[in-house]
Chain A
Amino acid sequence: MLFNSYEFILFLPLALAAHFLAARWSISAAVATTTISSLIFYAWWKPPFVVLPIASIVLNYWLASRILASPIAERRPLVLAGVAANVLVLAYFKYFDFILSIFEQRSASVPDVPLALSFTTFVQIAFLVELARHPEKVAPAKYAMFVAFFPHLIAGPIVRWSELGPQLDDRGRYRINWDNVALGLTIFLLGLAKKILLADQLSPHVSLVFDAAAAGQPIGAAAAWGASIAYSLQLFFDFSAYSDMAVGLGLLFNLRLPVNFAAPLRSTSIIDLWRRWHISLSRFLRDFIYVPLGGGKKGGLRQCANLFVTMLIGGLWHGANWTFIAWGAFHGALLTLNHIWRLLRGPVRPTMIGRSVGWLLTFAAFAVGMTMFRAANIETAGSLLQAMAGFGPGASDVNFNPAPDFWFLRQGYVSEEFVRTWFGAHWSISATLLTAAALAVMLLVPDTMELTNYRENEPHSDWRRSYGLTWTPSAAWCAGAVVLFAVLFARLNQFTEFLYYQF
């Protein structure tokens, strides 16, 4: 079920009502009810596949019980076995054909990965490791709700037991908290607006270029850059919208989920970007891959290698495709370069110009990375990157499509030659203007978390700006929320899936 679907509009009030009515009976009843609601939410996609998260929850809980019952010395092998079992299941569904295709020297087919598998795998791995470090008795129903809780089930944030567990134990959270309901409704609506009014508007323009490149059609430099920048913005608005909605939904249940995006595309360095982009994944990669590998404690060279390996695994987590591996490697290399630069530069506070150059380089590098991330295969990524570097086809080889810029051409504001040379058949003036508008929104308009001043498990708050426009439950905001819902509801006919559902 999608958060931006009609089904969800009916599902949400029913799930909320069931939760708080059951809570009047007992906490266990509320937990069980919401777990069942969450499984229904999951099963809406493909009912038989609901067996997978149920089996995974049961097996991981059993393993957790074994870890708790074992002497400290014997816990490590059990944790390792648990981690390996989770990774194996993920690998079977996600990477089996890809690995086989390498040996058989053929193209891998697109795997039919069960929804949410990547996210629940990481949530449960983190749980097992945390449990071994800090043993604690966990009730089975609460564990099931912790993993399956529908706001974060499909695409995160990747929650930790240390964040959600204590909240599930807090009796006070099983009563309606109107402050959280008001905040949650607002955050959900702002997230939905990001998704429908920004991400979904960019999507068709991005698809045109990437699909054409995948079909082997020539793409010019401006089209390749335009589509890559537009996709960077689309992915940000799409995924951060999902995270906002997850946070908003969590608040309706009186539970606080962690902040997952901190306006990352405003970052002035790649290191900063990765502190602010998909924070819960970055945190997982840091705690469970980078730090166990030695982190930065074994010398500069080793740190660079650790960073590279961590990002490579992070890339592979997104999917079984060389494009994701290349994307991970690219970011590993960028992070390494950024660390070397910091070492060379020393502790100097950057000037305004320095920060602007830093932002430009960071955003451009991110867009280059997104070209690999979005491309259907490594060959397509290669041809687009070639075009971006200025080694693509000349204007005379590029097709011409007058349709999107019909008005500009008819009015004589631009010539056919201009459109052909700069945009070709798959990019347009309209797409450029839309991308520029989305970029301006990203840079200038306060983020949902800034507007609402929501702060939960946020490692750094230095990214927040002061706009003098903070949400409060006022009449003006109330009217704004209702109008926003009306606008969004009218546009709900255009169904699109969240991009991160596929990972």
Chain B
Amino acid sequence: MISKTYSIIVAAACAALLAATATLNVAIDPQCVFRACASDGRATANERYHRLLAYKLRAVETDGLLFSNSRGKAFDTNAVALALGAKHVASFAVSAGAITDHLPFLKYILSDQAAHGGKIQKVLLLLDADFFGTRPWTNLNLDSFLPPEVSGESGLRFWLRYLFAVQFKGWRESITSTARRDLTATPNVRLASLDGPPTGLVAAGGQPAQAEEAPTPERLSRISKSHKPFLNEQLRDLDEFVQLCRRKDIQLTIALNPLTRVNSSTYEPGRLEDTIASINEITDLWDFTAPEWLAEDLAHWLDVSHFRPEIAQVMLDRMFANAGPSDFGRFRRKAESGSLER
């Protein structure tokens, strides 16, 4: 083979691969960034991108915001608007959403509102005692990249990533989910994405009783899931979020989502309480993690992680109408964990 043939074959094969990948990505569009297909219910869609598009469509009338991970999808935005006393609430409830998503979104929206003379009056921020402090999914996956306006990255880079990403699973998932979308209605939640990679850590000598315990898979898994390597960073982000709302005179309500017993028992004892206490050192909050009747009864849940819309409504009633069961939701004043109930 001569060098010219070698060069042309290699270059042509590389170009063909690029072209084929780009064609597949545009045609299948797993993240729904090339056309509006997010409503197809495909699990690979970039919800962060679509939440921003939805906000932009009604930016002028938006004066309230809802930030959450997929658990917040149980909230009806009209009901949230009614509870908050807002004209329109834009939802940023996204799969595996974390404070690392919420803070840049809030910053972008505040500057966008300032640009057209609008003002955000109310914000409802839903946090999770189990995921707070774990590795966030922000900008980690193709489906979790923040839109370029929000992240500040070059728009070209954002689009090229989606054009040239080789994503066999994404293509397959999109094709199968499109094929079955008319057959079954599935809730748009992603359990797998919430579980995240196990990255456990436990202080040596800190818990001698456990050190003697046998290294069963369950125990190892519990130790892994309890690891919160990003806790301090996320607490700093939360503090910035709170301060930003304060500076902009925004009425901020923060709540911790309920957890099932099945879910909370997969963590080391005391770990979730420590996280709640750390969050509470920064801000007042509504703690919905505790009630036994909710944690034990899976009838209130879509799955072990996501509560039903009825529970979301009860949460709103507790926070904004002083109604609902009194054992559901404790209001904790900043740095006075468990001191005040109402």
Contacts and interface: CB of A to CB of B under 8 A. Distances in A.
Interface of A: 5-7, 9-10, 13, 178-179, 181-183, 185-186, 395-403, 406, 409-410, 415-416, 420, 425, 473-475, 477-478, 481-482, 485-486, 489-490, 492-493
B157 A473 contact: no
A485 B3 contact: no
Interface in B124-157: 142, 156-157
B298 interface: no
Interface in B1-25: 1-7, 9-11, 13-15, 17-18, 21
Given A181-B7, A400-B204, A477-B6, A409 B220 contact: yes
A238 B9 CA distance: 28
B115 interface: no
Interface in B213-229: 215, 217, 220-221, 223-224, 227
B13 A7 contact: no
B299 interface: no
A178 B199 contact: no
Contact of B156 (A7, A397, A420, A473): A7
Given A402-B223, A485-B10, A415 B198 contact: no
A474 B11 CA distance: 15
B204 A185 contact: no
Interface stretch (B39-47, B161-169, B259-267): B161-169
Nearest to B11: A185
B209 to A, nearest CB: 14
A477 B205 CA distance: 56
A207 to B, nearest CB: 12
Contacts of B161: 6, 493
A136 B8 CA distance: 39
A473 B220 contact: no
B183 interface: no
Contacts of A474: 1, 6
Contact of B10 (A6, A185, A403, A493): A185
A482 B14 contact: yes
Interface of B: 1-7, 9-11, 13-15, 17-18, 21, 142, 156-157, 160-161, 163-166, 197-205, 215, 217, 220-221, 223-224, 227
A341 B174 CA distance: 66
Contact of B215 (A396, A415, A489): A415
A271 to B, nearest CB: 38
A84 to B, nearest CB: 37
B72 to A, nearest CB: 28
A6 B165 CA distance: 9
Given A9-B164, A473-B3, A492-B164, A485 B14 contact: yes
Nearest to A491: B166
Contact of B6 (A402, A409, A473): A473
A473 B2 contact: yes
A425 B198 CA distance: 13
Given A395-B204, A475-B1, 11 more contacts: A9-B18, A178-B7, A179-B3, A181-B4, A186-B10, A400-B202, A402-B220, A473-B5, A474-B1, A478-B1, A489-B18
Nearest to B213: A416
Contacts, number: 111
Given A7-B156, A399-B204, A406-B198, A178 B215 contact: no
B1 A485 contact: no
Contacts of A9: 18, 164
Contact of B200 (A178, A398, A401): A401
A399 B203 contact: yes
Contacts of A410: 217, 220
A239 B1 CA distance: 32
A485 B215 CA distance: 43
A485 B20 CA distance: 14
B14 A402 contact: no
A416 B142 contact: no
Contacts of A485: 10, 13-14, 17
Contacts of A186: 10
Given A406-B198, A473-B3, A398 B204 contact: yes
Contacts of B165: 493
Contacts of B156: 7
Given A481-B10, A482-B9, A6 B160 contact: yes
A490 B227 CA distance: 31
Contacts of B223: 400, 402
5 contacts: A178-B3, A425-B201, A473-B2, A486-B17, A489-B17
A186 B200 CA distance: 42
B204 A403 contact: no
Given A401-B227, A410-B217, A6 B3 contact: no
B200 A6 contact: no
* Highest count of chain B CB atoms <10 Å: which of A13, A395, A489, A492: A489
A182 B3 CA distance: 6
Contacts of B15: 13
Contacts of B163: 6
A401 B215 CA distance: 12
B147 to A, nearest CB: 17
Nearest to A398: B204
The 4 closest A-B pairs by CB, nearest first: A473-B6, A182-B3, A178-B4, A490-B166
B200 to A, nearest CB: 5
A73 B195 CA distance: 74
Nearest to A485: B14
A403 B205 contact: no
B215 A416 contact: yes
Contacts of A403: 197-200, 224, 227
A478 B220 contact: no
Contacts of B198: 403, 406
B6 A399 contact: no
Given A6-B163, A401-B200, A403-B200, A478 B215 contact: no
A10 B164 CA distance: 11
A9 B166 CA distance: 14
A175 to B, nearest CB: 13
A284 to B, nearest CB: 33
